[in-house]
Amino acid sequence: MSSMGGVIITSIEQQWGRVCGRLREEVGEGAFKSWLRPVVLVDLEGGEARIAAPTKFMRDWVAAHYADRIRKLWHAENPDVQSVDVIVVPDRLAARPAAAPPAPAATAPATRTESAMPDRPPESATDFGAILDQRFTFDNFVVGKPNELAHAAARRVAEANSVTFNPLFLYGGVGLGKTHLMHGIAWHIRQKHPERRVLYMSAEKFMYQFIRALRFKDTMTFKELFRSVDVLMIDDVQFISGKDSTQEEFFHTFNALVDQNRQVVISADKSPSDLEGMEERLRSRLGWGLVADIHPTTYELRLGILQAKAETARVEIPAKVMEFLAHKITSNVRELEGALNRITAHAELVHRPVTLESTQELLHDLLRASDRRVTIDEIQKRVAEHYNIKIADMHSARRARTVARPRQVAMYLSKQLTPRSLPEIGRKFGGRDHTTVMHAVKKVEELCSEDRSFAEDVELLRRMLQI
């Protein structure tokens, strides 16, 4: 190690050694031994570091799964390093691990971590196999009724020592957690069985790889690579609907893997039988294993997800705000996350706590407040749900506080939110007199001024009914 003007200069061997040390910590001993230990340093020239794997298969694997990380770690060690080439150098030629570049004839075309280069034959590493999202683990997946089957099936596949159902086909609407579960499976296997080769990619990338292979007359490598994995996961398979030759190749890849008892996991936005533009034989094969759907979220699941995300992000969100969001943002989990991110970012920026008012203001586009008229029936239903009483109690003569108070709240809101007169409201509440309604309105106003939490509750109900 030498020092020049305060900058520590290390040899490239030392840099590579440290990069390897970091990688070992990150990927674990098993994966490191299988994939990275055999890789040797070749040279560093013009900002491009070259490393070599002993076989073409390993080269592709390292390029797909680790090269980008290696580039980042190396760049942190030495900012001159801009890209990493993974080449093939058979073991006997790579006896000298550093400095001397191998004879050009022994090297296969390099695979880069940079973006695709149009006239370069093989796949570029970043395009091959996707980087897994660190947040998408089973631990971070909130389970509820709508996704419990898909979650249980995904876990089974991830934890099983032998193939149980093949393929596992997960389907559901946009943003409901299919990709999250797929990544969850991949993370789990990577952690527990680093020696297993798991390949996850979107159907779009599969097609892209296939087209590249055709273009560069390298379909053998393509086939070899896809057929040598232990677990193949293809996300959003609907993408290849109507793409006949990609489907054909996918069908053969799929069959080859299933025949060898390798696990295949597929996701789509529809069930196999509903995948239009997909060949019948493929549709039928896709449905052979376990088909598990993810249903639209329920209020409870949305609330659970919000609580979990807020906890992970370590932000304080009042329960009322979470309830409000869970009631209002029902489209999918991605939108729910988006809303949560927006309000937490805002709160951090302006250093003000999150409130129901600020939330509503901030999300007005998402909430798309409609100024439609609310009906008394809707008010009764929503208030009854909120306080967990029967709708019938809105009309009944029962006077127990547990039902009388919600009834008063519903009367108050009916006065506030509808143009109905007091007698009309009274009639809708089991034929009560207008003075009873007047009394209810006064009582609720009084309670609101005395009891903050009661006031917030009523406010929450009012907002929810207005949107």
- CA dist 247 and 242 (Å) reads 8
State the number of binding residues for ligand ATP (CB under 6 A): 19
Instruction: Establish whether 177 is an annotated binding residue.
Output: yes
**Bridging pattern class, strands 231-235 and 198-202:** parallel
Query: Would you count residue 305 as binding ligand ATP (CB under 6 A)?
Result: yes
Query: Would you count residue 338 as binding ligand ATP (CB under 6 A)?
Result: no
User: Helix (H, G, I), strand (E, B), or coil: what is residue 45?
Assistant: strand
Q: Edge-to-edge strand order for the sheet containing 290-294?
A: 198-202, 231-235, 263-268, 168-172, 290-294
For ligand ATP, give the closer residue by CB, 184 or 194: 184
Query: Would you count residue 205 as binding ligand ATP (CB under 6 A)?
Result: no
Instruction: Establish whether 111 is an annotated binding residue.
Output: no
Query: Would you count residue 132 as binding ligand ATP (CB under 6 A)?
Result: no
Binding residues among 155-174 for ligand ATP as defined by CB under 6 A: 172, 174
> What does the chain come to in residues?
467
User: Helix (H, G, I), strand (E, B), or coil: what is residue 138?
Assistant: coil
For ligand ATP, give the closer residue by CB, 215 or 334: 334
Instruction: Establish whether 179 is an annotated binding residue.
Output: yes
User: Helix (H, G, I), strand (E, B), or coil: what is residue 355?
Assistant: coil
For ligand ATP, give the closer residue by CB, 146 or 194: 146
Query: Would you count residue 204 as binding ligand ATP (CB under 6 A)?
Result: no
Query: Would you count residue 275 as binding ligand ATP (CB under 6 A)?
Result: no
Tokens at residue 90, please? 């058979």
- Helix %, strand %, coil % of the chain (to 5): 55, 10, 35
Minimum Å gap between C-beta 460 and ligand ATP is 24
Q: Are 206 and 233 in contact (CB under 8 A)?
A: no
For ligand ATP, give the closer residue by CB, 175 or 318: 175
Helices 452-466 and 401-417 cross at an angle (nearest 10°) of 50
Binder to ligand ATP among 236, 249, 393, 457 (CB under 6 A)?
A: 236
Instruction: Establish whether 309 is an annotated binding residue.
Output: no
Buried residues in 47-75 as b, exposed as e (16+ CB within 10 A): ebbbbbbbebebbbbbbbbbbbbbbebbb
Binder to ligand ATP among 16, 136, 206, 226 (CB under 6 A)?
A: 136
Binder to ligand ATP among 66, 74, 141, 169 (CB under 6 A)?
A: 141
Query: Would you count residue 337 as binding ligand ATP (CB under 6 A)?
Result: yes
Q: Are 285 and 251 in contact (CB under 8 A)?
A: yes
Tokens at residue 68, please? 């980008």
For ligand ATP, give the closer residue by CB, 141 or 210: 141
DSSP tag of 241: T
For ligand ATP, give the closer residue by CB, 232 or 444: 232
Query: Would you count residue 269 as binding ligand ATP (CB under 6 A)?
Result: yes
The CA angle 72-75-80, to the nearest 5 degrees, is 150
Query: Would you count residue 335 as binding ligand ATP (CB under 6 A)?
Result: no
- CA dist 438 and 412 (Å) reads 8
Minimum Å gap between C-beta 320 and ligand ATP is 22
Where does this chain touch ligand ATP (CB under 6 A) — which range of 11-19, 76-84, 136-144, 219-227?
136-144
Minimum Å gap between C-beta 236 and ligand ATP is 6
Q: Which residue ranges make up the annotated binding site? A: 175, 177-179
Catalog residues that contact ligand ATP under the rule CB under 6 A.
136, 140-142, 147, 172, 174-180, 236, 269, 305, 333-334, 337
Q: Which residue ranges make up the annotated binding site for ATP? A: 175, 177-179
